[in-house]
């Protein structure tokens, strides 16, 4: 039955979104002894900076202010705007957390812990909301494979979130502010392509392929930065 197939793919998406960050937390905590304070601060910063502060900014710029709202109707400009806003709010939140709340926690495993918290709560909440929405409309005609894309995308985004966390932490550790701007620009670039898809300028497979490239680069950075931090 088609409905059963759709439900299976929705379940797969949900499982990837929820269980991967939980698995990473348990695995790396057992291996390195992660700071649960760093994990918790990562969760808190994501909630405050993306779900409160960034949304307030979007409310003003996209709805309340007619000048900016009109300017941002262009799909390309909107994608640039969305990427920059995500980069500015999330990376600034990371910087403030590492600089003040997590002062002294500058080891690679601390950045890893923060990234799992920050990216993990994003993966879980967005994954659950997406799966719930899809479950309500699963009988509509659709490509079943597309239903699992959300979970795969969450895993790829989680890798990027961990990499950005380590980049910002390295900047704090070395006192080099330029690494914050590297993270902002990298985050903006990643979300730019997601914005093009959301604006129906780019098809889903092209967008996901580009995000996959970012994820592969992120994993490489995570591994490479472990050596850099140890040096």
Give the domain ranges of the chain. 2-230
For the record, the structure tokens of 7 come out as 């439900």
Q: What is the pLDDT of residues 64-85, one digit of tens each?
A: 999 999 999 999 999 999 999 9
Could you tell me the pTM of the whole model? Answer: 0.94
81-42-222-203 Cα dihedral, nearest 10 degrees: -40
**What Rg do the C-alpha atoms of the chain give, in angstroms?**
18
CA distance 48 to 78: 23
Alpha-carbon distance of 167 to 179, in angstroms, equals 6
Min mean pLDDT across 24-33, 123-132, 142-151, 205-214 is at 142-151
**Predicted confidence (pLDDT) per residue in 90-117, tens digit:** 999 999 999 999 999 999 999 999 999 9
pLDDT at 134: 67
Q: How many Å is the maximal CA-CA distance in the chain?
A: 58
H/E stretch holding 216 reads helix 204-230
């Amino acid at each position: 039955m088609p409905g059963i197939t759709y439900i299976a793919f929705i379940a797969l998406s949900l499982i990837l979104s929820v269980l991967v960050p939980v698995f990473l937390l348990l695995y790396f905590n057992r291996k390195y002894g992660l700071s649960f304070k760093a994990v918790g601060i990562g969760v808190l910063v994501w909630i405050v900076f993306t779900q409160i502060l960034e949304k307030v900014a979007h409310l003003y710029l996209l709805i309340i202010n007619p000048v900016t709202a009109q300017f941002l109707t262009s799909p390309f400009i909107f994608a640039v705007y969305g990427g920059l806003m995500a980069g500015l709010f999330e990376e600034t939140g990371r910087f403030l957390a590492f600089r003040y709340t997590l002062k002294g926690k500058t080891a690679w495993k601390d950045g890893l812990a923060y990234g799992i918290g920050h990216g993990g709560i994003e993966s879980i909440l967005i994954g659950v909301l997406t799966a719930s929405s899809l479950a309500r409309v699963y009988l509509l005609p659709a490509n079943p494979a597309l239903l699992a894309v959300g979970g795969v995308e969450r895993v790829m985004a989680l890798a990027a979130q961990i990499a950005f966390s380590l980049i910002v932490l390295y900047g704090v550790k070395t006192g080099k502010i330029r690494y914050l701007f590297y993270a902002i620009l990298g985050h903006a670039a990643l979300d730019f392509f997601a914005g093009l898809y959301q604006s129906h300028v780019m098809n889903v497979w092209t967008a996901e392929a580009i995000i996959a490239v970012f994820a592969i680069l992120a994993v490489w950075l995570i591994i490479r930065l472990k050596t850099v931090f140890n040096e």
